[in-house]
Amino acid sequence: MGAAVFWLVIAICVFAIDILTSNFCFTLFTVGAVVAAVCGVMEVPFIIQIIVFSVLNIISFAVGYPLLKKKFKAANERIPLMEETYVGKIMISEKEIIDKAQVKVGGEYWTVINEGDIIHKGDKFTIKGIEGIKLKIEKVQED
């Protein structure tokens, strides 16, 4: 009966660790610990309990870890910020842009930094990236 208590303490400890870390991998250890505790109640030799614990944990990790990883990876898909959707956008200039200027993008005024040739009124430019709170732009070269 002492071995069953040992395995239940293991199961409770790994479950507590899982709650504290939000990792969910330690929960997979509880499967083997609970079954080993049942073996302890049935007075199966301790070495067999260890083997049962080990084998079940290997199986739990082989099956459970990929499923957990897939589930949490899908749940943590990053949604781009509104500003990040501007990158690659082609716009028509409403004024001449030499180095810096204020341009209305998505209903808001942004400071833009021209990284290419001078952009004249009516020229097309593309947003190349974001640097802090400024957009990096470049004139679209038309062939």
Angle at 17 between CA 14 and CA 23, to 5 degrees: 105
Concatenate the DSSP letters of all residues of 3-15 into one string. Answer: HHHHHHHHHHHHH
Asked if the 82-139 domain carries CATH number 2.60.40.10, the reply is: no
What pLDDT, in 10s, does the model give residues 45-80? 999 999 999 999 899 888 888 887 777 766 566 777
Token output for 14? 């790994």
Task: Enumerate the domain spans of the chain.
Answer: 2-75, 82-139
Mean pLDDT within 28-54: 89
- Predicted TM-score (pTM) of the model is 0.48
Q: Worst-scoring range by mean pLDDT, 19-23, 52-56, 119-123?
A: 19-23
